[in-house]
Chains A and B, each alone.
Chain A
Amino acid sequence: DQQVKQNSPSLSVQEGRISILNCDYTNSMFDYFLWYKKYPAEGPTFLISISSIKDKNEDGRFTVFLNKSAKHLSLHIVPSQPGDSAVYFCAASEGTTSGSRLTFGEGTQLTVNP
């Protein structure tokens, strides 16, 4: 039972354009959502997060949108840069009082072409 799904295994965009990565979840108990970026031979690096009480969070070029009714979130990167090329994982957690226990999606390989 895949509770967090990233339906696009790969995405290719031109430098300077917008990258939109999508993620769907099924567990209504998830209340905190995160995006991680992963380069080869490195561990995932935290990028941006959003609590279920919000519908948008922005940090520089990165914006995460949450649509709770659709159980959908997306990560927007504007403008995209070649250095953004990596695998992006969507993750969700169910409460924070017990510490983190992240459920990850399968990942989307983003390639930003110069």
Chain B
Amino acid sequence: ETGVTQSPTHLIKTRGQQVTLRCSSQSGHNTVSWYQQALGQGPQFIFQYYREEENGRGNFPPRFSGLQFPNYSSELNVNALELDDSALYLCASSLRGRPTDTFGSGTRLTVV
């Protein structure tokens, strides 16, 4: 049973640029959620995807967008990067109806 894998592990971008983060969900899991963890804080829910459609969104602006593919993998896209977007981005997968997420190790994004 493979876990959740995320790529890349680290990324440095310039303010105003766009970034795409990738996630492969755990085998058998059909729901993918993305979280942002700022330094010293707990993870904050960005959005969730189920059956390739957004299924709930946290308090994040529209420049945060995502995709889920038929194989349940997912992408997180962030446009017009701001310095405050610097954080650890965590992808989590689960089986719909089961609230226990399995997390990846995250992508550390630094915006300079």
Closest CB-CB distance, A73 to chain B, in whole Å?
Answer: 15
Closest CB-CB distance, A35 to chain B, in whole Å?
Answer: 11
| Chain B count of residues within 8 A CB distance of the other chain | 29
Specify which of B43, B45, B102 is in contact with A46 (CB 8 Å cutoff).
B102
Stretch at the interface among B11-19, B60-68, B72-80, B93-101: B93-101
Specify which of B4, B41, B55 is in contact with A43 (CB 8 Å cutoff).
B4
Complex contacts, B33 vs chain A, CB 8 Å:
99-102
| Chain A count of residues within 8 A CB distance of the other chain | 27
Judging by beta carbons under 8 Å apart, are B43 and A44 in contact? Answer: yes
Judging by beta carbons under 8 Å apart, are B104 and A43 in contact? Answer: yes
Complex contacts, A105 vs chain B, CB 8 Å:
42
Interface residues of A in 38-91 (CB under 8 A from B): 41-46, 49, 89, 91
B40 at the interface (CB under 8 A from A): yes
Complex contacts, B102 vs chain A, CB 8 Å:
46
A104 at the interface (CB under 8 A from B): yes
Judging by beta carbons under 8 Å apart, are A34 and B100 in contact? Answer: yes
Judging by beta carbons under 8 Å apart, are A44 and B90 in contact? Answer: yes
Judging by beta carbons under 8 Å apart, are A41 and B42 in contact? Answer: no
Known: A44-B90, A93-B99. 14 other contacts (CB 8 A): A89-B43, A99-B48, A99-B50, A99-B56, A99-B96, A100-B31, A100-B99, A101-B33, A101-B56, A102-B43, A104-B43, A106-B40, A106-B41, A107-B41
Q: 6 pairs across A/B with beta carbons < 8 Å?
A: A4-B42, A49-B100, A99-B96, A99-B98, A100-B99, A102-B43
Residues of B whose CB lies within 8 Å of any CB of A are: 4, 31, 33, 35, 40-45, 48, 50, 55-56, 58, 90, 92, 94, 96-106
Q: Which 9 A-B pairs have the closest CB atoms?
A: A43-B103, A104-B42, A100-B99, A93-B99, A99-B31, A43-B105, A99-B96, A44-B103, A96-B99
Residues of A whose CB lies within 8 Å of any CB of B are: 4, 6, 32, 34, 36, 41-46, 49, 89, 91, 93, 96-107
